[in-house]
Amino acid sequence: MIESSGAIPVVNAWNEWDTLQEVVVGSATGACFEPTEPGNRPQTRGAGAAPFPTGPKPAEAVDRANEQLAGLAALLTAQGVTVRRPSPHDFSQPVRTPAFEAENQYCAVCPRDVMITLGNEILEATMSRRARYFEYEPYRKLVYEYWDADPRVTWTVAPKPTMADAMYRQDFWEWPLEERHARMHDSEFCVTQDEVVFDAADMSRFGRDILVQESMTTNRAGIRWLKRTLEPKGFRVHPVHFPLDYFPSHIDCTFVPLRPGLVLTNPERPIRETERQMFTDNGWRLVDAPQPVLTNDDMPPYCQSSKWLSMNVLSVSPEKVICEEQEKPLQDLLYSLGFEVLTVPFRDVFEYGGSLHCATWDIRRDSTREDYFPAVSYRPAT
């Protein structure tokens, strides 16, 4: 039983970098291959590759990922961080609602995609894919524990979209690259604008300012919902775009704040010029990550994420960052920026779509709400 012990509420995180006290680390137990559906066309990597598998992941793949997730949990525990884990869930069960069916679910490796802590509030995202409709379930037991333990903790569940066929732009996956390039400024992806849709991993926290990436997994209606829900609570919600990313999904391989005044950026995905201004006007430095050690072709065959999982680091404090063990060029950059760098092997988790930031959900940091952008030109919710 968790107990509220005073000054800091049991749920408390206002940014991505303050000193971490409690965190959920994902689990690969029961994981399945992500099914093909209107919001997702998983592909096996490699020329002439076999069709993407279906159903439960092989036991060896699950064991390897779980070993590395346990390694991350052990490292965090050694740093004095309380580590919690999701509840078991049968992901092999199909999902059936009045609007759709999916042959199986996915996994609980990446709590970041579903759950976010915004100050003392836990927010469950709508999610954007059918196989992930019930992905909040492995975290509900924990949510109840936190919510029961401290009356300062609030809990918001975003409205579930239908995920019916009409919610998706079915031809998106067939657009040739030239068309994608021509349409890149429209920010139109596989979800339409008719329903509220967002994954939590498209958000990034900077005190009272929250960035939300418009993407394949977060639409403009989702951003409007976040603005109207969070701005009366004192947050400022900023939509952001990375126009050279033709398949954007989740901001944490693209724009990664490391401490006040410093963001690690993706050199292949610059932020839209007008959105960069908020950072330059307030004296923030945007520093490009080095090229990852792996190319996109070298990524594990069933991994649907890009080589930029390299920059999906987890901050333990404003001075200390956990980085994947083989990403030496990034480690060198972080050292040169004054960080203490801790490393863990994490390659076997990549095929589940994430690295260190994706595979965690920070519950409590020694954190207060600050204004890091006093010179912001700000548009309220519409």
Q: What is the per-residue binding string for ligand ABU in 199-238, x denoting contact by CB under 6 A?
A: --x-------------------------------------
Q: State the Cα–Cα distance between residues 36 and 50, nearest whole angstrom.
A: 14
Which of the stretches 161-169, 248-256, 291-299, 360-368 binds ligand ABU when contact is defined by CB under 6 A? 248-256
90 catalytic, yes or no? no
| Cβ-based neighbour number of residue 301 at 10 Å | 13
250 catalytic, yes or no? yes
Two tokens at 166?
């009409």
* Binding residue (CB under 6 A) for ligand ABU from 35, 119, 207, 354: 354
CB of 305 to ligand ABU, least distance (A): 3
Q: Is 308 in the site for ligand ABU (CB under 6 A)?
A: yes
In the chain, the N- to C-terminal Cα span, in Å, equals 42
358 catalytic, yes or no? yes
Which residue, among 301, 235, 205, 251, has the nearest Cα to 113 in the 3D structure? 251
* Binding residue (CB under 6 A) for ligand ABU from 129, 132, 241, 250: 250
Q: Is 117 in the site for ligand ABU (CB under 6 A)?
A: no
Four-CA torsion 106, 107, 110, 111, nearest 10 degrees: 110
Q: What angle do CA 248, 321, 331 make, to 5 degrees?
A: 80
Whichever of 105 and 305 has its CB closer to ligand ABU, that residue is: 305
CB of 47 to ligand ABU, least distance (A): 21
CB of 292 to ligand ABU, least distance (A): 10
Which residue, among 189, 298, 291, 185, has the nearest Cα to 248 in the 3D structure? 189
| Cβ-based neighbour number of residue 149 at 10 Å | 17
Q: State the Cα–Cα distance between residues 152 and 216, nearest whole angstrom.
A: 34
Residue 121 to residues 154, 156, 307, 337, Cα–Cα distance (Å): 5, 7, 32, 32
* Binding residue (CB under 6 A) for ligand ABU from 305, 310, 315, 331: 305
Whichever of 9 and 248 has its CB closer to ligand ABU, that residue is: 248
Cβ atoms 201, 252 nearer than 8 A: yes
Q: Which of 199, 209, 245, 362 is catalytic?
A: 199
Q: Is 21 in the site for ligand ABU (CB under 6 A)?
A: no
Which of the stretches 10-18, 130-138, 301-309, 338-346 binds ligand ABU when contact is defined by CB under 6 A? 301-309
* Binding residue (CB under 6 A) for ligand ABU from 253, 258, 294, 342: 253
Cβ atoms 217, 202 nearer than 8 A: yes
Pairing of strands 121-124, 115-118: antiparallel
Stated length of the chain = 382
Q: Is 15 in the site for ligand ABU (CB under 6 A)?
A: no
Whichever of 24 and 201 has its CB closer to ligand ABU, that residue is: 201
Q: Is 306 in the site for ligand ABU (CB under 6 A)?
A: yes
Whichever of 153 and 309 has its CB closer to ligand ABU, that residue is: 309
Q: Give residue 116's region: left, alpha or beta (phi > 0; psi -120 to 50).
A: beta
Chain residues binding ligand ABU by CB under 6 A are: 201, 249-250, 253, 305-306, 308, 353-354, 358
The residues assigned a catalytic role are 199, 250, 358
